[in-house]
């Protein structure tokens, strides 16, 4: 943690403009500088830059937050932001950074999280999704959320506010969403618009949760077709489902996946990973997918109905593991996949997994600190990391996915 033992806690710099040398990136897409013994978190800058920044939040104590007002010395990795008039919009906070440098910064964040929370010294490169380098990380989002102000103007929220940034383009969206043109219309008496485009060419959108377009979505990934009910979760990046499904299969093959063992797909959603394993190892595999959402679990049941040994259970993962762990360890050669929410699997789930002792554990994570925190007790409990890979499935943001393979 930051060394702040000499800080005067009565110090307050709110609305002051200070000159800063930016040191490094931190979790959450912000950057770190120091001034008069305090840490200053700054957005929209780069390591190595010298900037003037206005303090917009200061509650006293060891740190404050600031935004740049002038770039005095720019990084060679700084580029013109791709989204005109929406530079400060949420969801594009890395848009001022060269794409290759974005991935290096994400790798920095992952390395620091692994070291700080799990004691793991490892540099993991963050890999590009297919097509992103050629398209400069644009045109990838298959899911978009837009907000509407009192005048009917449409756009994303400005960072740290509920102010709508009116936009004329949606450069991160796939062409099908851009061509729909909903962001160009005036929407009186509307608060939010959500748009989704499937890999099979369908379009669905909701206006204040009222569904328009296709009610049932079909997605194609991992060698299979998946049906999604309205509002069901699916990966945002158009290549993400295939990238992650392919990695799951590769890791399963590397550890000699036993299709007749006790295999589980926890937080399984609509059955993506279970389906990908069936496509790779045969429709007679034994696998149980567990999902708290009843509608998603029902989608999974339908999507996996041709897989002889597949089951879909609609229950919270914690409750399912409590029951499973009451019977002791899993049978030999078992594989468990976990893809928890951003907050991670957490203590309860990790403790149950340590009781069950699956031979192979695959952890898919969208937050580096959450997965690092969960890896610490797993490695202390006898697991060894056989692989860590990271994928840049959210270009121009600070987010990325990490996939970890652990064996006993």
Q: Is 180 helix (H, G, I), strand (E, B) or coil?
A: helix
Residue 213 predicted with pLDDT over 90? no
Q: What are phi and psi of 380, to 5 degrees?
A: -65, -25
Partners of residue 291 on adjacent β-strands = 314
What is the Cβ-side half-sphere exposure of residue 151, based on CA atoms within 13 angstroms?
7
pLDDT band at 9, cuts 50/70/90? low
Burial level of 151, CB count in 10 A (0-12/13-18/19+)? exposed
pLDDT band at 172, cuts 50/70/90? very high
Burial level of 62, CB count in 10 A (0-12/13-18/19+)? middle
pLDDT in tens, 274-284: 999 999 999 99
Mean residue pLDDT across the chain? 95
How many Å apart are CA 184 and CA 25, to the nearest integer?
35
Burial level of 50, CB count in 10 A (0-12/13-18/19+)? middle
pLDDT in tens, 306-323: 999 999 999 999 999 999
| Strand order from edge to edge, sheet including 30-35 | 17-21, 50-57, 63-73, 38-42, 30-35, 24-26
Report strand pairing: 401-407 vs 360-365: antiparallel
pLDDT of residue 3: 43
Residue 8 predicted with pLDDT over 60? no
Element counts in the chain: helices (H) and strands (E):
8, 21
pLDDT band at 5, cuts 50/70/90? very low
pLDDT of residue 160: 85
DSSP-derived secondary structure for 183-220: GGS--TT--EEEEEE-TTS-EEEEETTEEEE-SSEEEE
What is the Cβ-side half-sphere exposure of residue 101, based on CA atoms within 13 angstroms?
17
Active site members: 366
Residue 95 predicted with pLDDT over 70? yes
Q: Is 263 helix (H, G, I), strand (E, B) or coil?
A: coil
Residue 31 predicted with pLDDT over 80? yes
The mean pLDDT of 288-302, rounded to a whole number, is 97
CA angle 317, 321, 322 (to 5 degrees): 115
Strand ranges (DSSP E) for 340-383?
Answer: 360-365
pLDDT of residue 7: 44
The answer to whether residues 97 and 105 touch, using CB atoms and an 8 Å cutoff, is yes
How many Å apart are CA 400 and CA 408, to the nearest integer?
27
- Where is average pLDDT lowest: 2-6, 104-108, 152-156, 392-396? 2-6
CA angle 140, 141, 147 (to 5 degrees): 145
pLDDT in tens, 346-400: 999 999 999 999 999 999 999 999 999 999 999 999 999 999 999 999 999 999 9
pLDDT band at 85, cuts 50/70/90? confident
pLDDT band at 401, cuts 50/70/90? very high
Distance of CA 105 to the CA centre of its chain: 15
Domains along the sequence of the chain with CATH: 17-73 (2.40.50.140), 102-133+238-407 (3.40.50.150), 143-219 (no CATH)
Q: What is the pTM of this model?
A: 0.95
pLDDT of residue 315: 98
How many Å apart are CA 310 and CA 271, to the nearest integer?
10
pLDDT of residue 4: 40
pLDDT of residue 10: 56
pLDDT of residue 178: 96
Report strand pairing: 264-266 vs 286-291: parallel
């Amino acid at each position: 943690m930051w060394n702040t033992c000499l800080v005067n806690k009565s110090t307050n710099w709110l609305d002051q403009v200070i000159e800063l040398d930016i040191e490094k990136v931190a979790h959450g897409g912000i950057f770190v500088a120091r001034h008069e013994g305090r840490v200053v978190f700054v957005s929209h800058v780069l390591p190595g830059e010298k900037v003037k920044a206005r303090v917009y939040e200061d509650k006293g104590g060891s740190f404050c937050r600031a935004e740049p007002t002038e770039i005095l010395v720019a990084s060679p990795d700084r580029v013109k932001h791709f989204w005109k008039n929406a530079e400060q919009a949420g969801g594009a906070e890395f848009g001022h950074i060269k794409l290759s440098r974005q991935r290096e910064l994400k790798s920095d964040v992952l390395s620091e999280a692994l070291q700080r929370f799990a004691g793991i010294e490892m540099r993991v490169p963050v890999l590009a999704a297919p097509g992103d380098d050629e398209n400069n990380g644009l045109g990838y989002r298959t899911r978009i959320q837009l907000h509407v102000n009192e005048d009917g103007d449409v756009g994303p929220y400005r960072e740290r506010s509920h102010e709508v940034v009116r936009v004329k383009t949606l450069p991160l969206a796939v062409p099908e969403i851009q061509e729909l043109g909903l962001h160009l219309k005036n929407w009186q008496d509307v608060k939010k618009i959500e748009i989704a485009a499937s890999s099979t060419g369908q379009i669905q959108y909701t206006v204040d949760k009222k569904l328009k377009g296709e009610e049932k979505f079909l997605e194609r990934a991992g060698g299979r077709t998946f049906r999604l009910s309205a509002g069901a979760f699916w990966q945002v990046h158009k290549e993400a489902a295939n990238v992650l499904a392919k990695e799951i299969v590769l890791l399963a093959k590397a550890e000699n996946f036993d299709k007749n063992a006790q295999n589980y797909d926890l937080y399984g959603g609509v059955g993506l990973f279970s389906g990908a394993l069936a496509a790779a190892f045969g429709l007679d595999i034994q696998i149980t997918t567990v999902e708290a959402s009843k509608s998603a679990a029902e989608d999974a049941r339908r999507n996996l109905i041709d897989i002889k040994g597949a089951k879909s259970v609609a229950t919270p993962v914690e409750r399912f593991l409590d029951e499973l762990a009451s019977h002791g360890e899993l049978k030999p050669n078992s594989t468990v996949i976990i893809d928890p929410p951003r907050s991670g699997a957490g203590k309860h789930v990790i403790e149950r997994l340590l009781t069950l002792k699956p031979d192979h554990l695959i952890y898919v994570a969208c937050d580096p600190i959450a997965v690092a925190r969960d890896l610490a007790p797993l490695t202390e409990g006898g697991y060894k990391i056989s692989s860590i890979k990271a994928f840049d499935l959210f270009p121009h943001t600070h987010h990325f996915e990490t996939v970890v393979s652990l064996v006993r």
